[in-house]
Structure 1
Amino acid sequence: MTRLVRIAGPALLLAVSFAALVAALLYGGGADAPQFTDPGPVVRFGLPIAKLLVNLGAATAIGALVLASFALARDEDAWGVSIDIAAAGAAVWAVASAATAFLTFMNVYQQPISSDPAFGRILGQFVTETELGVSWLVTILIAAAVTALCFAVRHPIAVAFVTVLAVAGLVPMATQGHAAGTAGHDAAVNALGLHLVFAAVWLGGLIAIVLLQRTLDRGRIVEVIERYSTLAIVCFVVVAISGYVSAALRIGSLDRLLTDYGILVLVKVLALLALGFFGMLHRRFVIARMRVAGPGRRGYFWWLVVAELGFMGLASGVAAALARTATPVKEEVVVFTPATILTGEPLPAPPTPMSFLTEWRFDSLWTLVVVFLAFFYLAGVWRLHRRGDRWPGLRTVSWLAGLVLLFYVTNGALNVYEKYLFSMHMLGHMLLTMMIPVLLVPGAPVTLISRAVRKRNDGSRGVREWVLWAVHSRYAAVLANPIVAAVLFAGSLWVFYYSPLFRWATTEHLGHQWMIVHFLLTGYLFVQALIGVDPVPYRAPYPLRLLLLLGTMAFHAFFGLGLMMGQGLLLADWYGAMGWGTDALADQQAGGGIAWSIGEIPTIILAISVAISWSRSDAKLTKRLDRKADRDGDSDLRAYNEMLAKRAEHDLE
């Protein structure tokens, strides 16, 4: 039975994937010959098939790596086998990516393959000089690197970094296809990126479990499946939401659901609902019964997994065909203005005081981040409450307030206008790096995780183990050092705005996401060094904390004043060319005023918090010394007085 399932599961996945792909291509017209230039049936059918293999290979590699990092222990055979599965998946990913890159070139080149040197030269230019070619080249290199590293490394920390690298290999894929051609480019890229990553973890993890059956005993396989089931729930939610966002951008309205593209989307939705039903069966009934059922009575579970792989194959095949199917959203007539040329989107209405409440541009990535952080934090507090432990309510309020502000900055009016107005960008920056961390740090999330999440005793690493490793690692010891944190906090402000990083973060979507993460992390590390309650390798004395705070205040003040008094426009070809009809330099000077004035408000809050903490620390020390004196009759004072008396006698002699 075990061997049959290991063969039947992947075989059914591949068979259904290819069948669904071909059927969807024929139905939606994704492989139809173009009206004028036809690259040939080999390219028309080969390109989506190669992309399907890219998706399956990437999913197998990422899912197996995540399973090894999250559910398995290093000292068990299944851990090494999971890494080997990841290596095989990454190899397929690399080869299929190379084939996809070549077929993509042939689809664009529209000429037969030739041995002429000109053919090779044009192919090289496509791969190294065009945006599409470079993205596939990067994907090939990352997939190849993951393949090699899976053979070379066998340490949990190294495998975790390989997992991060493998996930990064999906980023170039997220910028291709329909995502790059929609008006809401940023929303489309985020939705597709989330869809690719979490679908890969979901599908690849299930493939790895099927292939790992014989290396895990009966009790261990149940534990691994339970852990995978937790990941699958998160993946289901993210895949469903990101899929809805992607479909909404590409379909536009409900009346277009009956188009060829819309019908294929409905088929994929039905497959997703079926997978959600399988997941509910696993969580509510199957896993619990597996604990008490004998080996002979567990076959129904594995056949249920095979059926689940079949539906995943259906969703994967249809998804690959959708990437080649024309969307029902017609090309809009673009009125070329400076704003549309620079950003790809029309200039929004001029901001007013009411715009801060009425203007929204939702970001699926940061919306999900905020929702999951709030949910799991509240789940941890609830678990402590059920156990009878107390968790301060102010910590919960502070954490949720910080998340609400993070949601507003990444989805509200600041997200609408920060591309066009430097002042709006600076306001968002100040909130990200100063105000939001001031609210998040008192929430003490690391302390909550260490108390609420169960400790693992089997050698594997879950959320609790990875978080505590990160906090106590040598890397954290360097980054969390108060002086280093202060230098990163204040120094990165100057480096960012007076280097090419500012242009990258302003003009590129990936750079913008990096900017948000960077400013959040540097702000969080600095605030944690000043007022944090979570464990850190080194806790600075209070005088040093106030000194660092005053120093960073000075850096912020000089930076803000420099912008207010400066006569040179940062990114003049961007902020100065939007066509607002306003003075871009005056707006930049207003941004300097925001950095100097509004940015100092959180600093004052931090100064007051440090002073209060210092006072409380002194009060606690005084009480502790008083209790000690009551216990031993103030032996320290008596010893000191006796020492003084002896010295006095010695001086008299």
Structure 2
Amino acid sequence: MPRLLRVIGPAVLLAAALVSVVAALAFGGGAAAPLLLDPGALVRWGLPISTLVVNLALSGTVGALVLACFAFSSDRPEYGIALDFAAACAAIMTVAAAVTGLFTFVSVANVPWSFDQTFTNGLSSFVTSVSLGQAWLGITLIAAAVTVLCFAVRNQTAIVFVTLLAMAAVVPMAQQGHSSEAAGHDAAVTSFGLHVLFAAIWLGGLVTLIVIKRTLGGGRLVTVLERYSSIALICFIVVAASGYVNAELRVGTLAELATPYGILVLVKVAALVVLGLFGLMQRRVLIDRLKRLGEGRTFWWIVTAELAFMGIASGVAAALARTVTPVPQTRAATPTPAEILTGEKLPPELTWGRLFTSWNFDLLWVLGCAFALFFYLAGVWRLHKRGDAWPIYRTVLWTLGIVLLFYITNGGVNVYEKYLFSAHMSAHMVLTMAVPLLLVPGAPVTLAARAIRKRQDGSRGGREWILLAVHSRFAGIISHPLVAAGLFAGSLWAFYYTPLIRWATTDHIGHEWMVMHFLITGYLFVQSLIGIDPVKYRLPYPFRLLLLLGTMAFHAFFGLSIMQMHGLILADWFGAMGRTWGATPLIDQQTGGGIAWSVGEIPTVILAIVVAIQWSRSDERETKRQDRNADRTNDAELKAYNEQLARLAARDGTAQR
């Protein structure tokens, strides 16, 4: 690509974004002066523009880091350039986030600009005591830390953790992106966070390719483009799905698309559709053309055009955040106790029918389950195409496990677990015991090691990262049977008898952490007992049964302790919902304890049976191995043993004489 295009590409992105945000603000009224408490034109226009700069800088940071982890070789020049680019973007993000926090303070507090003690004290209180100020302070500190780490850290394994830290900046963005008092807050936090993160990877990855292009010689350009294209496809799916959820929450009905907010949403959708077509062209036509004809101007001009549409989408998105939505982002005038606590209306009385027909979709787990099932089946299909066998029961069990996980995180249990302790405990038990019992025999790590192509250029793809994680020292510790059992059983007490229960119940981020934590600890425990995937240490079968029985006894004792409690766990939550149907909160809590005590027995019996069967098959395999060895050596070991006994007997007879 000519040197000029390397400059034009990012310049087109920035210009398109700035023009779009100004035009969208003017059209949607996002920068119009309010009738009361006008913070001034500088803040009204500066706040969305500085937010846009934060988003673009975040994209450059995260996109470059993701490609450094999954597309580049750490011993090649492009790796270091990508990290330097990520550091530069993180530095810009640090300054832009600080400026955005300052603009936000002036806008919220409506105080005049000054440098006196009153202004600085107010700003200090805002960033330390107000959630909105704390969010921007957190983003600023994360960006500053990433800036330093991108310069200081070059180890590819350590860069993964730097990448996760950079991605963590999305969390405070998502939490402030939708009013906690408005309906659909949890869905909005998830969808907005996914939207920002994957759009950042998509956009930042493309800009990074332009920055490092001059270091990619020979066929390396095509190879890296293919890897980026796969990442971009996943990003497109997530951005499209999360964008739809966001629009539905804020637009409401089709008629509202005629409002300024709705029209801007349509503009953003149009830009996304065009970007999808660019991506399709890149995967189907342009990469193949590069393989046949080599690099040409056409490809890079198309990349520049793609950046222009990304800039339009980014600018409109920044303006939408300041535009009045058709659906009010405020609480109802006379909220019910449930609406005050959860932001949602109290659902109707729980019945067996509603348990299996009610849905509360969590986009994170909808997409997670869809990708987990798709990639597993794709791996099985790849093995089948090259003639390798994969047991059908593994595919069936994995599919059933993903379906059950999808239901628990999106179905009736998810609808009622905020309001009923028993539903919350049911979700916990299924996540930590039933779902892993189906997923572990699916052997996903073994499938990945066999199905994913091995990288030959020193970079790390999915196979390399999975195997590196499985064989790491940390994995060896947490997968040890005693540690896994301790995490499995100890998490119950640490969760329900500490403030963690409040965080996981009242905060959406805490809830997502809870689901992930119990799924992982349950998976590790079941893996230590009946797993097929490789681990560093396994107990002999008799000790596995003892460990299972001991852990389940501890589990049953926990359930009994809940059943015998006479006080409510989170009385100001489960006891304050204003619920007039169903059991009283205390009886419902005792029912939850009964669920913890009784439901755990079914997986325990199944696990014990599976361990016993594996034990029996292990003995059979050992017997067959010994028989084959005897046939192969004509019982050489037995003959040698008998000859040794004969020599000992002869020696004893001689000694007696």
TM score, norm. by length of structure 2: 0.98
- Deviation at 1:556? 0.8
User: Any idea what the Cα deviations from partners look like across 1:171-195, whole Å, max 9, x if unmatched?
Assistant: 1001113354530000000000110
Three-state SS of the structure 1 residue aligned to 2:63 is: helix
Is 1:2–1:213's contact at 8 Å kept on the other side of the alignment? Answer: no
- Deviation at 1:254? 0.5
Q: Distance in 2 between matches of 1:52 and 1:262?
A: 20
Q: Distance in 2 between matches of 1:641 and 1:447?
A: 43
Alignment partner for residue 299 of structure 1, among 292, 297, 300? 297
Letter in 2 for 1:382: W
Q: Does 1:418 align with 2:417?
A: yes
Q: Distance in 2 between matches of 1:2 and 1:605?
A: 64
- Counterpart position of 2:170: 170
Moved over 6 A (4+): none
Three-state SS of the structure 1 residue aligned to 2:572 is: coil
Q: Does 1:368 align with 2:356?
A: no
Letter in 2 for 1:321: A
Is 2:545–2:608's contact at 8 Å kept on the other side of the alignment? Answer: yes
Q: Does 1:84 align with 2:84?
A: yes
- Counterpart position of 1:324: 322
Letter in 2 for 1:320: A
- Deviation at 1:633? 2.1
- Counterpart position of 1:110: 110
User: Any idea what the Cα deviations from partners look like across 1:288-323, whole Å, max 9, x if unmatched?
Assistant: 11012144xx11000000000000000000000000
Q: Distance in 2 between matches of 1:177 and 1:283?
A: 33
Q: Does 1:288 align with 2:288?
A: yes
User: Any idea what the Cα deviations from partners look like across 1:448-492, whole Å, max 9, x if unmatched?
Assistant: 111111000100000010001010111111011111101001111
| Counterparts of residues 242-641 of structure 1 (less than 5 Å) | 242-295=242-295, 298-330=296-328, 331=330, 333-581=332-580, 582-641=583-642
Is 1:505–1:511's contact at 8 Å kept on the other side of the alignment? Answer: yes
- Deviation at 1:336? 2.6
Q: Distance in 2 between matches of 1:94 and 1:433?
A: 40
Letter in 2 for 1:626: D
Q: Does 1:29 align with 2:32?
A: no
- Deviation at 1:342? 1.3
Three-state SS of the structure 1 residue aligned to 2:348 is: coil
Letter in 1 for 2:12: L
- Deviation at 1:536? 1.1
Is 1:198–1:235's contact at 8 Å kept on the other side of the alignment? Answer: yes
Q: Distance in 1 between matches of 2:182 and 2:156?
A: 40
Is 1:442–1:532's contact at 8 Å kept on the other side of the alignment? Answer: yes
- Deviation at 1:573? 1.2
Q: Distance in 2 between matches of 1:139 and 1:123?
A: 16
Q: Does 1:645 align with 2:646?
A: yes
- Deviation at 1:590? 0.4
Three-state SS of the structure 2 residue aligned to 1:537 is: coil
Letter in 1 for 2:278: F
Q: Does 1:38 align with 2:59?
A: no
- Counterpart position of 2:47: 47
| Counterparts of residues 53-92 of structure 1 (less than 5 Å) | 53-92=53-92
- Deviation at 1:641? 2.3
Letter in 2 for 1:211: V
Letter in 2 for 1:361: N
Q: Distance in 1 between matches of 2:210 and 2:116?
A: 47
- Deviation at 1:644? 2.6
Three-state SS of the structure 1 residue aligned to 2:178 is: helix
Q: In 2 relative to 1, CA 78–111 (structure 1 residues): closer, same or farther, beyond 3 Å?
A: same
Say what the alpha-carbon RMSD is for the aligned residues.
1.1
User: Any idea what the Cα deviations from partners look like across 1:544-573, whole Å, max 9, x if unmatched?
Assistant: 211110111111110011111221221111
- Counterpart position of 1:10: 10
- Deviation at 1:108? 1.1
Q: Distance in 2 between matches of 1:560 and 1:236?
A: 44
TM score, norm. by length of structure 1: 0.98
Three-state SS of the structure 1 residue aligned to 2:360 is: coil
- Counterpart position of 1:224: 224
Mean CA deviation greater in 361-370 or 559-568:
559-568
Q: Distance in 1 between matches of 2:644 and 2:493?
A: 55
Question: Which runs of no fewer than 5 residues in structure 2 stay unpaired?
Answer: none
Q: Distance in 1 between matches of 2:467 and 2:87?
A: 28
Is 1:31–1:324's contact at 8 Å kept on the other side of the alignment? Answer: yes
Letter in 1 for 2:526: V
- Counterpart position of 1:208: 208
Three-state SS of the structure 2 residue aligned to 1:257 is: helix
Is 1:494–1:559's contact at 8 Å kept on the other side of the alignment? Answer: yes
Q: Distance in 2 between matches of 1:111 and 1:259?
A: 32
Three-state SS of the structure 1 residue aligned to 2:201 is: helix
Three-state SS of the structure 2 residue aligned to 1:354 is: helix
Letter in 2 for 1:267: V
Q: Distance in 2 between matches of 1:120 and 1:650?
A: 99
Is 1:359–1:413's contact at 8 Å kept on the other side of the alignment? Answer: yes
Letter in 2 for 1:617: S
Mean CA deviation greater in 180-189 or 400-409:
180-189
- Deviation at 1:332? 6.1
Q: Distance in 2 between matches of 1:632 and 1:342?
A: 75
Letter in 2 for 1:426: M
Letter in 1 for 2:309: F
Q: In 2 relative to 1, CA 339–62 (structure 1 residues): closer, same or farther, beyond 3 Å?
A: same
User: Any idea what the Cα deviations from partners look like across 1:482-529, whole Å, max 9, x if unmatched?
Assistant: 111010011111111111111110111110000000000000011111
Is 1:179–1:188's contact at 8 Å kept on the other side of the alignment? Answer: no
Q: Distance in 2 between matches of 1:566 and 1:171?
A: 36
Q: In 2 relative to 1, CA 259–142 (structure 1 residues): closer, same or farther, beyond 3 Å?
A: same
Is 2:338–2:577's contact at 8 Å kept on the other side of the alignment? Answer: yes
Letter in 1 for 2:603: P
What is the total number of aligned residue pairs between the two structures? 651
Q: Distance in 2 between matches of 1:588 and 1:180?
A: 27
Letter in 2 for 1:130: V
Q: Distance in 2 between matches of 1:586 and 1:329?
A: 38
Q: Distance in 1 between matches of 2:263 and 2:218?
A: 42
Three-state SS of the structure 1 residue aligned to 2:571 is: coil
Mean CA deviation greater in 105-114 or 184-193:
105-114
Is 2:177–2:189's contact at 8 Å kept on the other side of the alignment? Answer: no
Three-state SS of the structure 1 residue aligned to 2:352 is: coil
Is 2:20–2:312's contact at 8 Å kept on the other side of the alignment? Answer: yes
Q: Distance in 1 between matches of 2:412 and 2:287?
A: 46
Q: In 2 relative to 1, CA 401–334 (structure 1 residues): closer, same or farther, beyond 3 Å?
A: farther
